[in-house]
């Protein structure tokens, strides 16, 4: 196929970035804004040997699963890749994605997968679910400050203060900040020149407590007239924390390394189930509290704790899963590389009066193997865990960590994953080294996007 060629194609699948996937005589095309079931006319923009990227020109026959998006900017914005596909079809697609990766990458047979797969956990209302949002600030053609979200694969800001995935109070907060900036002629940060003050605004909201946090990320050391901004924001019911984080580096990293309190406290609190958490601007905390509770309850169910177990929770963050597990286990050990997260985890354990959870700073890939080696030197016997829970980043686990997990002979391993491809790879290793796949279940943490969480139970053979 040649560049600029016009083709008609039926969309059969969705790619990792949300593009529709169709084939013409075995040649694969990726087409943004097309969904499964569409028949489209597309123009080939980039042609590789076996695949290409095409621009959607028109929809010849819309998919039976196509719906009108709730947000007018759904196509432009990079946040909602599949908002134009019905939610039922989104769930079906995500389940199919998990199954496909288990089969292709994990090497599991379709018969095994059909036995272990449980129905995906969807949402009753798949909108307005995010308790956290980070909004970039920029300047429009008239020189006015604007905020919203980046267009897909760019740093061009789509001006929009009313995201259909975020909580409604975000709009009020953002509009007050924009009003404040206009009043005092405070400039948005310009990535090209490195000038301007306001880079991003982080908003967190406690779904249970209704507490609100606002953190301004600035290209400087202070915010002029901050007393006026504080007065404006404090009129919003539920405001508990107003902070700023200085980030003067030429970087895509949003947050600075620390933050300062302008008003109130440096955190808000919220609950997952019965566990209370303190959340700072730098804390990792799941963005969908409704689904997070379902996810953690599922992990706890798979762990099947009776009260006598020693449990390791790897990549524990601020102790969210650890503290859930500690309610049913004898002892829980959490490991996380980020020092601030471990401080938060310890604080959260104290808040909830949980005494049977200990936390260690370091890479899970280093801490657990080191513990295993030192334990044998000191005690003359091999370290053992009854249950290991692992919730790694998108890249999955390093083989050294998987080997140590196997060496510790846990009766059960609960693997929580945000990437079913690396999950499938790691499950292959574990099932080749003494474990069997018992249960697999998707949890839709991110409706309207292509991402899906997966919870897996493995048992010792």
185: left (phi > 0), else alpha (psi -120 to 50), else beta?
left
Q: Which residue is catalytic, options 71, 77, 215, 418?
A: 418
Among the listed residues 420, 426, 389, 225, the one whose alpha carbon sits nearest the alpha carbon of residue 314: 389
- Structure tokens given for 226: 């901050």
Strand order through the sheet with 132-139: 157-159, 145-150, 132-139, 198-205, 212-218, 239-246, 260-264
Q: Is 431 a catalytic residue?
A: no
> Which is it for strands 275-279 and 20-24: parallel, antiparallel or unpaired?
unpaired
Per the CB < 8 A criterion, the answer to whether 448 and 83 are in contact is yes
Helix and strand totals (H; E) in the chain: 10, 22
* Span between the terminal Cα atoms of the chain, in Å: 50
In 3-state terms, what secondary structure has residue 268?
Answer: strand
Rg (CA), the chain: 24
Strand order through the sheet with 453-460: 117-121, 435-443, 453-460, 412-417, 387-390, 310-314, 331-336, 357-361
Per the CB < 8 A criterion, the answer to whether 330 and 355 are in contact is no
Cα dihedral 66, 70, 74, 78 sign: negative
Q: What residues act catalytically?
A: 418
């Amino acid at each position: 196929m040649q560049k600029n060629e016009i083709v008609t194609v039926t969309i059969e699948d969705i790619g990792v970035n949300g593009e529709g996937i169709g084939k013409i005589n075995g040649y694969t095309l990726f087409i943004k804004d097309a969904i499964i079931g569409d028949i489209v006319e597309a123009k080939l923009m980039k042609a590789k040997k076996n695949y290409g990227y095409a621009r959607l020109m028109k929809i010849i026959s819309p998919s039976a699963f196509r719906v009108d998006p709730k947000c007018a900017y759904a196509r432009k914005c990079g946040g909602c890749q599949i908002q134009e596909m019905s939610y039922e079809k989104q769930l079906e697609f995500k389940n199919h994605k998990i199954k496909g990766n288990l089969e292709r990458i994990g090497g599991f047979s379709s018969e095994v997968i059909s036995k272990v797969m449980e129905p995906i956990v969807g949402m009753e209302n798949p909108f307005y679910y995010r308790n956290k949002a980070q909004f970039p600030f920029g300047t429009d053609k008239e020189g006015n400050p604007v905020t919203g979200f980046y267009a897909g694969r760019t740093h061009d800001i789509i001006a929009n203060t009313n995201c259909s995935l975020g909580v409604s109070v975000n709009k009020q907060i953002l509009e007050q900040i924009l009003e404040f900036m206009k009043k005092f002629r405070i400039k948005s940060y310009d990535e090209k020149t490195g000038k301007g003050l306001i880079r991003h605004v982080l908003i967190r909201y406690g779904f249970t407590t209704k507490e609100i946090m606002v953190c301004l990320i600035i290209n400087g050391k202070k915010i002029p007239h901050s007393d006026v901004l504080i007065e404006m924001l404090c009129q919003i019911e539920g405001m508990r924390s107003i902070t700023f984080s200085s980030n003067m580096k030429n970087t895509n990293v949003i947050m600075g390394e620390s933050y300062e309190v302008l008003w109130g406290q440096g955190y808000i609190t919220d609950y997952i189930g019965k566990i209370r958490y303190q959340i700072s601007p730098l804390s990792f905390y799941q963005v969908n509290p409704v689904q997070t509770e379902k996810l953690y309850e599922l992990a706890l169910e798979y762990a099947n704790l009776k009260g006598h177990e020693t449990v390791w929770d790897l990549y524990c963050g601020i102790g969210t899963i650890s503290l859930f597990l500690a309610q049913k286990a004898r002892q829980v050990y959490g490991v996380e590389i980020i020092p601030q997260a471990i401080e938060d985890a310890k604080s959260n354990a104290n808040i909830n009066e949980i005494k049977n959870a200990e936390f260690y700073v370091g890479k899970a890939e280093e801490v657990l193997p080191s513990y295993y080696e030192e334990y044998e030197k000191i005690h003359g016997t091999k370290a053992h865990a009854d249950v290991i829970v692992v919730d790694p980043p998108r890249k999955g686990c390093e083989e050294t960590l998987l080997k140590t997990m196997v060496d510790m002979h846990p009766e059960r391993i609960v693997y929580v994953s945000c990437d079913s491809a690396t999950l499938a790879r790691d499950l292959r290793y574990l099932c080749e080294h003494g474990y069997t796949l018992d249960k697999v279940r998707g949890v839709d943490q991110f409706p309207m996007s292509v991402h899906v969480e997966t919870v897996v139970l493995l048992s010792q053979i």
